[in-house]
Structure 1
Amino acid sequence: MNIGLFFGSFNPVHVGHLIIANHMASYTDLDKVWLMVSPHNPLKDKNALINMYDRLEMARLAVEESINISVSDAEFKLPQPSYTIDTLTHLRERYPEHNFSLIMGADNLASLKRWKNHEILLRDYKIFVYPRPGFDNLELIDHPSVTLTQTPLMELSSTFIRRAIKEGKSVRFMVPDPVIRFIEAKNLYG
């Protein structure tokens, strides 16, 4: 099976993430997309993250009715911070029957050369890239492993969602209802 790995903090998960995941599962040769909840992205501030288990649960709630999108906590069992190459090595050993590809935004492709063992990622994995505002002329876009998709451009961010919640503004239709209920019940981001 061809599995697309969509890594993220999902702090919180929102409809932008879900639209991208669904597009990749529906309009590429991927059979499924796994939302890979990252305990700590080495390029992000760990102090801005809420508990990883709350982020995992929100992601699960967001995709509970999906047949081609699921959630993985594989990085929870690995040393932190999480490096994509280490996670892929772990997954290949655990699931040798699957072919794994990466899903990333154009902003991440722009910084890929800063990633641990980026040459191996480019050599051994297909990378499906979705557009991001302001990232049009990318050095690696013509690499044979890279596929630029026609995913709808998403300008919604978890940072915007967190700020809106903190300010007491509605995030309805931007965040799935079960996730909103979870955030409210646990008083997250307030």
Structure 2
Amino acid sequence: MRRAGLPLTVPGLRVGLLGGSFDPAHAGHVHITEEALRRFGLDRVWWLVSPGNPLKAQGPEPLKKRIVSSRLIMQNPAVQITGLESDLGTRMTADTIAALQHLYPRVRFVWLMGADNLVQFDRWDRWQDIAAGVPLGILARPGWRMPARFSRTARLLWRNRIDQADARTLADQAPPAWCMINVPMSKQSSTAIRALRNMSAKKD
């Protein structure tokens, strides 16, 4: 049974999952989300605003604050801003995906991530389970196209790669399956925004 407060779906819906701290959310996140919707043929994208990133030493702004700011900047009605990991009590991506697939067994999920994350994907907890559980939609970012193509994960899963010309079929593919699309990318980053914000705070 679907828990109260979780997103509503219909059978067969193609949903992209974009996880991250969104600290803060910015135009670059909006851009890759809308590209993913269009290029991968998705019906929805759910932003999974995480309680915290285990690969980052410094914690983010409070979850509620990040969700509010994300909703202010992401105005596409096909995109839902959620705190699902907090709602589900999961911290690791593998657990989050497993929980969502249990709650929504007839939804076609695709895990979305930037090409920079593909480079370090083999460091993620149970990354093999993630790759075996859902198709992976990779969005190229400036400076990361070639490192991603020759990353350990890409080499291990090379036979499971979907050509970007067939990107719209990704949600229908049986995992493991992954597709990397090259798109004009915004160079704006949350790290740069935080650095500017900290500099302004010091000047004040």
TM class by smaller structure: 0.7 to 0.9
CA change 1:143–1:156 in 2 (3 A) is farther
Residue 54 of structure 1 is aligned with which of 57, 62, 65? Answer: 65
Q: Is the CA contact (8 Å cut-off) linking 2:111 and 2:134 kept in structure 1?
A: yes
Aligned AA for 1:95? Y
Q: Is the CA contact (8 Å cut-off) linking 2:19 and 2:112 kept in structure 1?
A: yes
Deviations 1:29-73 (A, max 9, x none): 2111111101111111243x111110111112222x312111111
Aligned AA for 1:140? T
CA change 1:96–1:46 in 2 (3 A) is farther
Partner of 1:150: 182
Partner of 1:77: 87
Alpha-carbon separation, structure 1, partners of 2:48 and 2:86: 10
TM-score in terms of structure 1 length: 0.80
The answer as to 2:150 corresponding to 1:140 is: no
Partner of 1:182: none
Q: Is the CA contact (8 Å cut-off) linking 2:63 and 2:83 kept in structure 1?
A: no
The answer as to 2:59 corresponding to 1:27 is: no
Q: Which runs of 4+ in 1 moved over 6 A?
A: none
TM-score in terms of structure 2 length: 0.75
* Number of aligned positions between the proteins: 167
Cα RMSD after superposing both structures: 1.9
Gaps of 5+ in 1: 169-186
CA change 1:91–1:154 in 2 (3 A) is same
Gaps of 5+ in 2: 1-12, 161-176
Q: Is the CA contact (8 Å cut-off) linking 1:140 and 1:146 kept in structure 2?
A: no
Query: Higher helix share goes to which structure?
Result: 2
Partner of 1:40: 52
Deviations 1:75-96 (A, max 9, x none): 112446x110100111112222
Deviations 1:147-186 (A, max 9, x none): 0012222321111112222333xxxxxxxxxxxxxxxxxx
Aligned AA for 1:73? G
Aligned AA for 1:163? A
Identity level (%): 30
Alpha-carbon separation, structure 2, partners of 1:143 and 1:51: 41
